[in-house]
Structure 1
Amino acid sequence: MQDWAPVFISLVLFTLLSPGLLFQMPAKSRLIAFGNFHTSVASIVVHTILFFALDAVLLVAIGVRIELGN
C-alpha cells in the first residue's frame, strides 16, 4: 500500500496558497487582499514560505498518512 498523503496535501496546499487565488499576502495597499488575482514578488515569497512550512508540519511533524488500497 502506498502513502498518498504527500500528494494530496501538497496539491491542496499548492492550490489554496497560490498567490491571488483566494488571498494575497502582502497586497499592494493592504496586508491581505482577497480574490484579486494579482501577484507580486513579495507575495510569491510569503506564499512559498507558508506552503513549505504547512507542508512540513502536516507531513513530517504530525505524520499524516493516507493509504489507499484493498
Structure 2
Amino acid sequence: MADWGPVIVATVLFVLLSPGLLFQIPAKNKVVEFGNMQTNGASIFVHSSIYLGLITIFLIALDLHIYVYD
C-alpha cells in the first residue's frame, strides 16, 4: 500500500505556484501579473511561502492521503 497524497499535492502545487506560469506576485510593474513567464527574487520568495503554507494545510492540518493498493 503506497500513500501518493503528498506526492500528488506537492506536484500540483509546484506546477500551479511556479512564478510567472499562472500569476506572479509581486510583478515588475504591478502587484499581480498573469501569465508573463518572468520571475524575480521577491516573487520566488512569495510563491515559496504560499507553497509552504498550502502544503502544510493539505498534508498536516487536513491529513490528506491517497492510497494505491497493489
Give the TM-score range, shorter chain: over 0.9
Q: Unaligned stretches of 5+ in structure 2? A: none
Q: How many pairs were matched up?
A: 70
Cα distance in 2 for partners of 1:17, 1:9 equals 12
Q: TM-score, normalised by structure 2?
A: 0.96
Q: TM-score, normalised by structure 1?
A: 0.96
Q: Unaligned stretches of 5+ in structure 1? A: none
Alpha-carbon displacement from aligned partner over 1:20-44 (angstroms, at most 9, x marks no partner): 0110001111111000000000000
Cα distance in 2 for partners of 1:23, 1:4 equals 27
Alignment of 1:26-65 (within 5 A): 26-65=26-65
- In structure 1, give the amino acid aligned to 2:34: F
- In structure 2, give the amino acid aligned to 1:40: N
**Structure 1 segments of 4+ aligned residues over 6 angstroms from their partners:** none
Identity fraction in percent? 47
